Amino acid sequence: VEESIKWFELAKKAPKYQNKEYPYINAGRAYMMAQNYEKAMAEFEVALTLCPENEDLRNTVDKLERTLNRDMPEYDFKVNFKQDNQENHFPQEDL
């Protein structure tokens, strides 16, 4: 997970990255896998500012926000996004 986060950080800085929100979504998903929900939320919120029309992302942020407000230390949370461009998303089978 840590290695993937390093790559997502690099992708955020790439000047020609088409879908600027993807590295933030992917970093958020990696943080979710590591159960670091606060960092995941921060990444998802940035992604949402870059792509506010992404309903799947908005739903994920809403669910995570409700979960964090409940102060649940252990929560099995799966992030689902449409498979519109698989190579730009974190592999589903790893979640």
Q: Which CATH number covers residue 61?
A: 1.25.40
First to last CA, the chain: 11
Quick one: pLDDT at residue 93? 45
- HSE-up (13 A, CA, CB side) for residue 26: 26
Length of the chain: 95
Q: What is the pLDDT of residue 3?
A: 78
Per-residue pLDDT of the chain (95 residues; tens, 9 = 90+): 777 778 777 777 777 767 788 889 989 999 999 999 999 999 999 999 999 999 999 998 998 888 888 654 454 555 555 555 545 544 444 44
Give the domain range for residue 33. Answer: 2-94
| Structural domain total, the chain | 1
Q: Supply the pLDDT for residue 48.
A: 94
pLDDT at 94: 43
